[in-house]
Structure 1
Amino acid sequence: MITLHALKYSRANRILWLLADLGQPCNRIDYDRTKSLRAPEALKRVHPLGKSPVIEDEGEMIAESATILRYLAAKYADNSHTPPQGTPAYWQHEALLDYVEASFAEVALQAILPAFGGEPVPETARSALDVHLDYITQLIGDGPLLFGNRAMLADIQMSYIIALLARLDLLNDHPVIATYWDALQEQPGYIAATQARGPMAPPADTERK
C-alpha cells in the first residue's frame, strides 16, 4: 500500500484526490503546520527538503506532485485522467501538468504571499498574475474544466494554486476561473480529499506570523 506523507493545507490533497478517484487506499501520515504555517522539522526526516507530498511505495520514495500523479496513474493503469495518448490534447495536457509548478506557481506566489500576510499586492505581481490567469481562462474555454467535464491530472494539479488565489480573493477579476474553482470543488475526488485532510488553503481565520 502507498504511504503518503501529507502536510496540512498543502499539495498533498492533490494526491488524496487522485487516490480517491482511483478507489485506492493509502497509509497516510499526517503533519501539522507550525504556528507560522511552515512545515515541521519532522518532514525533513522524510525528505531532505522537507517536502510534502512524498509517497513511499515498494521501497521507493517519490516527491513532486506531478511526478506522483503520473506514477499513480501508471501504477494503477489509469487512462481516465488524461486525454487519449498521442492526440494533440494529450500533449497539451502534459504541458499543462508541468506548467502549474514550473511557471504558474512562481508567479502566483508573488501575489499570494503578501496578500496572505495582509499586505497590498504589488502592482507588478498583480499584473504578472493577470497574464497567467488570462491564459488559463483561454484554456478553460467552454469548460467547466480544462478538458471538458471530467477532472484530468492537470486539473488536480491546478487546484492547489487556484484554492490559494480564491482564499485570498485574487480571482475577483477573473470570473471564468472563479467558476472553474467552483467546478473543481464539486468533483468527488476533491470532496473526498478535503473531508479526509481538510481544505487545501488555510481557512480565513488562520493568521500567518
Structure 2
Amino acid sequence: MTGTETAATTTPSSKPSVTLIWLNESRAQRIAWLLEEMGLDYDLKVYKRTKEKQAPAELKEYHPLGKAPMVVVDDKTLVESAFIVEYLVDNYAPQLKPAESDSKQYMQYRHLMHYTEGSLMPFMLLAYVCMMIRNTPVPFFVRPITNRVADGLSNTFVNPNLVSNYDWLETLLKDQPFFAGDKLTGADIMLSFPIESAQERMGGFYNKERYPNLFSWVERIKARPAYKNAEEKVAAVEANL
C-alpha cells in the first residue's frame, strides 16, 4: 500500500441502500435474517400471493420472472437466494464466510451455498407436489389412482433422496456447531429454509432421534438475536397482509 492509498472500510455513510422485496410464503425470511446479521438497515416492500398462490404481477417490475425474494442494493436488483447471499456477504459481511486460507471449510461453504437450491430443494419441492396431489379434490373413484401416483413417486424416488441428503447434512454437524466451521456463515442461512421446513412439515423418517445434530443446529440459530429480530419483523409484516 502506498502513502496515497487507504484501507477500504464500510462506514455508515458508505453502507448501501437496501430494499428486500418480500412475498408471503416464500424464502425471503432467510434474507431478512442475513440483513439482520449484517447489521444493515433495509426497507421491506411487501407483496401477497394471489388466490392461485402465485406471485403478483407487480414483482415483474423488478425482474421479468417476478420471483421472490429479490433485493435491490443501491441501483442493482439481485435475484436468486444463493446469489443474493453471496453478493451481500462478499461485499459487506466477509465475517460470514470462512477465510480462503482455510481451504476445507471455505470449499464446504461454497459447495453448500449452491447445493441448497441445486440439489436439496428440488426434492423438497417434489415432496410438496406429492402432498398437493394427495390433497387435490378429485372424484372418489379417482382418488386411489392419484394416491397411488403420489405414493409411488414419494416411496421410490423422493423420500430415498431426501433421506440421503438429510443423513449427509447430519454428519456435517458431527464435530462442529455450524455447517462451515465454528462460526455462522452464509451456508447456514441458505440451509435454514429446507431444514426448518423439514421439521415443520415432514414426518416419518425426519425426527429428532434420527437427526439430533440438525435439531440442535436449529435451536442454535433460532437463539441468535438477529434471527429473532428478523422473525419479529416478518411476523409484523405478515399480520398486516
Match in the other structure for 2:94: 79
Distance 2:132 2:218 in 1: 19
Distance 1:126 1:152 in 2: 28
Match in the other structure for 2:147: none
| Deviation for aligned residue 1:148 | 4.5
- Pick which of 98-107 and 5-14 moved more: 5-14
Match in the other structure for 2:3: none
**Residues 183/35 of structure 1: CA separation in 2 closer, same or farther (3 Å cut):** farther
Please tell me whether residue 41 in structure 1 is matched to residue 57 in structure 2: yes
Please tell me whether residue 196 in structure 1 is matched to residue 233 in structure 2: yes
| Deviation for aligned residue 1:113 | 3.4
Match in the other structure for 1:152: 185
**Residues 152/10 of structure 1: CA separation in 2 closer, same or farther (3 Å cut):** same
Distance 1:114 1:13 in 2: 25
Residues 1-209 of structure 1 aligned to structure 2 (within 5 Å): 1-76=17-92, 78-87=93-102, 88-115=104-131, 122-124=154-156, 125-170=158-203, 171-172=206-207, 173-198=210-235
Distance 2:47 2:73 in 1: 19
**Residues 148/95 of structure 1: CA separation in 2 closer, same or farther (3 Å cut):** closer
Distance 1:86 1:104 in 2: 28
Distance 1:113 1:25 in 2: 36
**Residues 166/23 of structure 1: CA separation in 2 closer, same or farther (3 Å cut):** same
- TM-score calculated relative to the size of structure 2: 0.74
Secondary structure of the corresponding residue to residue 80 of structure 1? helix
**Residues 166/113 of structure 1: CA separation in 2 closer, same or farther (3 Å cut):** farther
CA deviations on 1:69-100 (whole Å, 9 max, x unpaired) are 12112332x22211112322111111111110
Identity over aligned pairs, percent: 30
Question: 8 Å contact 1:145–1:184 — kept in the other structure?
Answer: no
**Residues 147/34 of structure 1: CA separation in 2 closer, same or farther (3 Å cut):** same
Distance 1:190 1:113 in 2: 29
2:217 counterpart letter in structure 1: Y
- Pick which of 11-20 and 41-50 moved more: 41-50
Which ranges in structure 2 are unaligned for 5 or more consecutive residues?
1-16, 136-149
**Residues 35/164 of structure 1: CA separation in 2 closer, same or farther (3 Å cut):** farther
Secondary structure of the corresponding residue to residue 147 of structure 1? coil
| Deviation for aligned residue 1:37 | 3.3
Distance 1:140 1:190 in 2: 20
Secondary structure of the corresponding residue to residue 104 of structure 1? helix
Which ranges in structure 1 are unaligned for 5 or more consecutive residues?
203-209
Question: For the pair shown, which has the larger CA radius of gyration, 1 or 2?
Answer: 2
Secondary structure of the corresponding residue to residue 6 of structure 1? strand
Q: How many residues align?
A: 199
Distance 1:126 1:180 in 2: 22
Higher relative contact order (CA 8 A, sep 6+): 1
Question: Greater helix percent: which structure?
Answer: 2
Match in the other structure for 1:206: none
- TM-score calculated relative to the size of structure 1: 0.84
- Pick which of 149-158 and 36-45 moved more: 36-45
